Amino acid sequence: MGPLQPHLADFVVGLVCFFAIFAVLGGILLPRIEKTLAAREDAIGGGTERADAARAEALATYEQYQAELNAARHEAAQIRQAAAEEGAARIAAVRAEGQRQREQLVAAAKVQLEADRVMAEAELREDVIAVATELAGRIVGEPLGDVPRVRDIADEFFAELDAKALDTRVTAKA
């Protein structure tokens, strides 16, 4: 019989072996292969999806980071501006206080100088009166310190000097 017409026993044994192998392949091997293929497909397709999700999450995190960084930069600029303004205000306040103290010192010094000038002038007038009286006494030959009009004459002389000095100051200013 040939290969196209097998013996019945050979044909039955061949069919039994074929169905046994088919059952083993279909029951055990094919599910494992399908499971492996599904896992690979999940790994490939799901990995891409997970990568896209991770990329989107990373992008959102990066944008949030950039927003926080920009906010921090803006806040730092505001703090620098406020510090500069506060520094300028403090410098102005210290300058004003220094100016006020300087003006007080200058005013106090002017008052003190005027008081010293008045005292020196009074002492100098007394000394001039004493020296003039002594000189006049030497010229006359007798002491003039006892003469009551000496003080009046000296006061008139100094009043005339003061009037001339005042006239000189007024004409110099005009």
Q: What is the pLDDT of residues 99-141, one digit of tens each?
A: 999 999 999 999 999 999 989 988 988 888 888 888 877 887 7
Is the pLDDT assigned to residue 45 strictly greater than 80? no
Domain-located, residue 65: yes
Domain-located, residue 1: no
Is the pLDDT assigned to residue 27 strictly greater than 70? yes
CB atoms within 10 A of CB 133: 19
CB atoms within 10 A of CB 144: 16
Going from the C-alpha of 159 to that of each of 125, 137, 164, the distances in angstroms are 11, 23, 9
Q: What does DSSP assign to residue 25?
A: I
Q: Quote the tokens at residue 42.
A: 């999940």
**pLDDT reported for residue 50:** 79
Distance CA 109, CA 82 (A): 40
Domain-located, residue 67: yes
If one compares 65 and 141, the residue with the highest pLDDT of the two is: 65
Distance CA 126, CA 154 (A): 9
Domain-located, residue 131: yes
Per-position b or e across 60-77, b if 16+ CB within 10 A of its CB: eeeeeeeeeeeeeeeeee
Which domain covers residue 55, as residue numbers?
A: 8-143
Domain-located, residue 158: no
**pLDDT reported for residue 40:** 86
Contact 137, 143 (CB under 8 A): yes
Domain-located, residue 150: no
**pLDDT reported for residue 116:** 94
In three-state form (DSSP H/G/I as H, E/B as E, the rest C), the secondary structure along 95-153 is: HHHHHHHHHHHHHHHHHHHHHHHHHHHHHHHHHHHHHHHHHHHHHHCCCCCCCCHHHHH
Domain-located, residue 3: no
Report the percentage of the chain scoring pLDDT > 70: 95
Distance CA 78, CA 84 (A): 10
Q: What does DSSP assign to residue 1?
A: -
Domain-located, residue 58: yes
Instruction: Report the number of distinct structural domains present in the chain.
Output: 1
pTM of the shown model = 0.44
**pLDDT reported for residue 7:** 83
What is the residue whose two structure tokens read 């599910």? Answer: 31
Comparing 31-35, 90-94, 147-151, the range with the smallest average pLDDT is 147-151
Note the pLDDT tens digit of each residue in 75-102.
999 999 999 999 999 999 999 999 999 9
**pLDDT reported for residue 145:** 64
